[in-house]
Amino acid sequence: MEKNARVVVLLLLFGLLAVDPLARESAPERDSIQAADLKRDVLVLASDEMNGRLVGTPGNRRAAEFIASRFEELGLRTVEPDSSYLSPIELVQTALLPDTVLTLRWPDTEETVELGDDFYPERFSATGRAQGPAVFTGFGISAPSLAHDDYADGDIDGKVVLTLDHEPEEFNAGSPFDGTRSSEHGRALRKALEAQRRGAVAVLFVADVHNHSSVPTIRAAMGTTWPKTPRRVPRYRPAVWLDQLQIPAVRISPELADRIVRNTGETLKTLAERAEVPGGITPVDLPDVEVALSTSVEVQRLTEYNVLGLVRGNDPDLRNEWLILCAHLDHEGAIGARVFKGADDNASGVAGLLELAEAYALATRAGEPPRRSILFAAWNAEERGLLGAWSYVEKPANPLDRTVAVINMDMIGRNEEVPAHDDRRFRGLEPQFAASNQNAVNILGYSYSTDLRRASETANTEFGLELRFRYDDNSSNLLRRSDHWPFLFKGVPAIFVHTGLHPDYHTERDLPEKLNYDKMTRIVRLVYQLSWDLAQADSRPALN
């Protein structure tokens, strides 16, 4: 071979390696992933017996037990020796009790304000009493990764914190707080936990009136937060969150906040405007006022289950690194004779998860196990706020810094279809026909890890699906609406595989006969190949 030709070949090879850093080999037992098997499991999960798989119902428990039985048949390990595939998660709902009082004390006067007109406890509030001077902490956010700290150089110990809703630069697309979408940093419970960590004895939340000229009255907001008629589906939160909070947290009206801050010579609005400062506000002491409050909240607990199964890696240096493949098992239950069977949402994803588990189990039996370990996770309570996944990341079975990546499958059985008429389910999405998406699958989370995007594209070369990278920065907020999100927030590379919403989404029309099982097969095989590539690679994908 001539010298110039050798140089060209070497450059071409280098280019290929640069594009594809992962070792390429076809995943073993890939052909075991079959449309008939996917359909079989969807029919079970979307059957009348499961009755919509709503959290807290027998149908949900039957679905979890079905998945556990399949893991056992396949010979998957439990995450702990002699434990169960059913991994308990504790959820809580709360009820407001009497004896909730808030009093303001000035040097020359005292005012006890009215529950329901001036304030009410947040649903995550602890039961307790607190008393102390007040301090304004802007948005009450501490986000070191964003170089923002509203508590810097402030003395918070023993004080009652007054904190704004939401986050800075709420309407700025270039905001470090996820642009115009609400970030996790703006979650009120996280703010309360941060205030407690800084030594606060209570938290008062108030509307960010400089950004929102019209806010619901306290009476209206309390009716939503503490409805007199019980909801069909209780509002749950992970117990692991609420158990951490030991201080009262209440919501107050802007008018009450103005009375609390009056001795600063400012109004709530002018103080709120000062909080819109890069890096965070310096806490502002609110002179000559003391806040005393007591809250009384009843906590009701519910134990449900994620379902976890493990294929142990065979590389002694890499087996303690885990790759998580996941899908959520719950759905919306039933209202009388109307059963929300959730065939696409998300029996499709769980069926895919079971096929992936089978492929890895067969490969292991055939003497071709992955180098890294694979955790198969069917999360519960996704429809209630990703609660199963949030519970896991707070108490992971393997440390998150040893979690290489997460691939989440949620709604992988249809073609995306967005109607042109106004429907809040589809806000932020462009109208489109199902026919335009017949070969398409959305990949979300791509903007957080270029490595995972490239790995997805590389794995797809054998399947010819149209991968669409379009929804990470979208007002539909799809990126934060499924179980990969808690992992991304915690710094674990994660992607969401999703064929898209459609008019049957969250209706009783989401039925097994409407799924495209051939397309599902190609998607699940793609996920298998992608996960195999990640499990076998010498290096792990990085976050951007």
State pLDDT tens for residues 298-310: 999 999 999 999 9
What secondary structure does DSSP assign to 402-442, as a single string? GEEEEEEE-S-SS---B-SS--GGGTTS--B-GGGGTTEEE
pLDDT digits (tens, 9 = 90+) for 48-64: 999 999 999 999 999 99
Q: What is the pLDDT of residues 371-389, one digit of tens each?
A: 999 999 999 999 999 999 9
Q: Does the pLDDT at position 412 exceed 70?
A: yes
> How does residue 24 score in pLDDT terms, banded at 50, 70 and 90?
low
pLDDT at 6 (0 to 100)? 41
Does residue 8 carry a pLDDT above 90? no
On whether the CB atoms of residues 534 and 19 are closer than 8 A, the answer is no
- Kindly tell me if the per-residue pLDDT of 15 is higher than 70: no
The H or E element containing residue 307 is strand 297-311
Looking at residue 55, its amino acid is V
> What mean pLDDT is predicted for residues 69-94?
96
The pLDDT-based confidence of 475 (bands split at 50, 70, 90) is confident
pLDDT in tens, 162-196: 999 999 999 998 899 888 878 899 999 999 999 99
CA distance 437 to 106: 64
Strand segments (E) across 42-153 = 86-96, 101-106, 109-112, 119-121, 128-136, 142-143, 148-149
Percent of the chain whose pLDDT exceeds 70: 96
Is it true that domain 43-92+301-536 has CATH number 3.40.630.10?
yes
Residues 275 and 219 sit within 8 Å (Cβ to Cβ) = no
- What is the CATH number assigned to the segment(s) 98-295? 3.50.30.30
Q: How far apart are CA 118 and CA 255, in angstroms?
A: 8
Residue tagged 């067969």 (tokens): 362
Q: Is the pLDDT of residue 68 over 90?
A: yes
* Residue 17 confidence class, pLDDT cut points 50, 70, 90: very low
- Which residues, including other chains, have CB under 8 Å from residue 523's CB and lie 6 or more apart? 352, 409, 412, 441, 465, 497, 499
pLDDT band for position 349 (50/70/90)?
very high
Q: For the residues 82-97, what does the mean pLDDT come to?
A: 96
137-172 residues labelled b (16+ CB within 10 A) or e (exposed):
bbbbbbbeebebbbbeebebeebbbbbbbbbbbbee
Give the residue among 213, 147, 208 at the shortest CA–CA distance from 177.
147
Higher pLDDT, 6 or 311: 311
Which of the four pLDDT bands, split at 50, 70 and 90, describes residue 313?
very high
Its pTM stands at: 0.93
Q: What is the pLDDT of residue 3?
A: 37
Give CA–CA dist 322/331, Å, rounded.
27
Measured between its terminal Cα atoms, the distance across the chain in Å is 41
Summarize the confidence of residues 196-213 as an average pLDDT. 97
pLDDT at residue 529 is higher than 90: yes
Domains of the chain by residue range:
43-92+301-536, 98-295
Contact partners, residue 119, CB within 8 Å, separation at least 6: 102, 113, 204, 218, 250, 251, 252, 253, 256
In the block, residue with structure tokens 């179980």: 483
Least confident of 16-20, 196-200, 318-322: 16-20
What is the per-residue pLDDT for 183? 87
**Given the structure tokens 């609406």, which residue do they identify?**
481
Per-residue pLDDT for 16 more than 60? no
Tally the residues of the chain.
544
